[in-house]
Amino acid sequence: MNGDPEFVSRQTHDARRFYLNLQPSATAPLALVCGGVERMNDDYVVERADFPYYAIEWVSEGRGLLQMGNKEHELGRGSLFAYGPGISHRIQNLAPDNMRKFYLDLAGREVVKSLRELGLLNGHPVTIARTYEFIELWNLIDREARDVGEHSVAVCDSLIRLLLQKIRQRMTSSDIDESTEAFQTFELARNLVETRFLEFRTVEEVATELGISPIYLSRLFKRFAGSGAYRFLLRLRMNYAAELLLERGLKVRAVAEHLRYADAFQFSRAFKRVYGVPPSSLSKAFLTNSSS
């Protein structure tokens, strides 16, 4: 923690942060500076008259207060807000429902233009639907920012543009009431699949675990996630398979056995359905990179 920049709060715990570019070019259209996710301490209060970058923050859990422009706003699950140079702000946690919030610090004229167009520099937060989509994007950005490859900065820039577009999409989506029983069931199902996707091979297995019908489960995912439950499960399993192939160098047959497929052919067909290429092409890529 002592190595973090001065603008990073010390009133947090369970934090995960990355730093990509703490001295962004003044002429760059867009630059990712850093990002993080952190749980607020009970007495968390941050009050700033200024900030060196443009920050986007969104709350995934808990409650708090935001003061900007001489107005106070309540923060809760799904609250998203932004601030930047010359924008005074005060963020306060409300115990015992301590906030968990994600943030990205950005720079560049393209960022300023987008935030203004979205109305996020007007001094008040917005509520976004499908908070998990933003968490997934943050995880992608976090992974790429830690990559030392020559393309990592460009990939992060593209993901930031995607994030800004996703904010626009979800700000205009008012058809989801996250307090309904249906949405709560969906969230329970989504969390179950995300944490135990290696155990489940079919939607029927997930539905049985939840005590609901497979048809109802698929309807929930189509309504709240925009795609079917099986597609969601399959993508998680194939993403993990890609990591085993690319990062650990496992053979296709070994990955198929790890994911409990009947044979390598069945696994290869599922993999190609998601990524459009057979898993053997990733194995070849790993061997090429290892020998270079």
Task: Report the CATH fold assignment for 181-291.
Answer: Arc Repressor Mutant, subunit A (1.10.10)
Q: Which residues of the chain have pLDDT under 70?
A: 1-9, 148, 172-179, 283-292
Whether the upstream peptide bond of residue 96 has omega within 30° of 0, thus cis, is yes
State residue 90's pLDDT score. Answer: 94
Query: Per the confidence metrics, is the pTM higher than 0.85?
Result: no
Give the dihedral sign, CA 270/274/276/281. negative
Tell me if 256 sits within 8 A of 267, measured CB to CB: yes
Give residue-wise pLDDT tens across range 225-259.
778 899 999 988 998 898 888 778 889 999 999 99
Q: Identical fold at 12-171 and 181-291?
A: no
State residue 177's pLDDT score. Answer: 64
State residue 227's pLDDT score. Answer: 81
State residue 285's pLDDT score. Answer: 52
Give residue-wise pLDDT tens across range 263-280.
999 999 999 888 888 888
Closest to 101 (Cα-Cα) out of 135, 130, 67, 137: 135
State residue 291's pLDDT score. Answer: 47
State residue 7's pLDDT score. Answer: 60
Q: How many CB atoms are closer than 10 A to CB 119?
A: 12
> Look-up: residue for tokens 């973090």?
4
Domain residue ranges of the chain, discontinuous segments joined by + = 12-171, 181-291
Cα 46 to Cα 64: distance, rounded to the nearest angstrom: 11
CATH-assigned architecture of domain 12-171 = Sandwich (2.60)
State residue 146's pLDDT score. Answer: 84
State residue 4's pLDDT score. Answer: 62
In whole angstroms, how far apart are CA 169 and each of 26, 103, 210?
Answer: 29, 19, 30
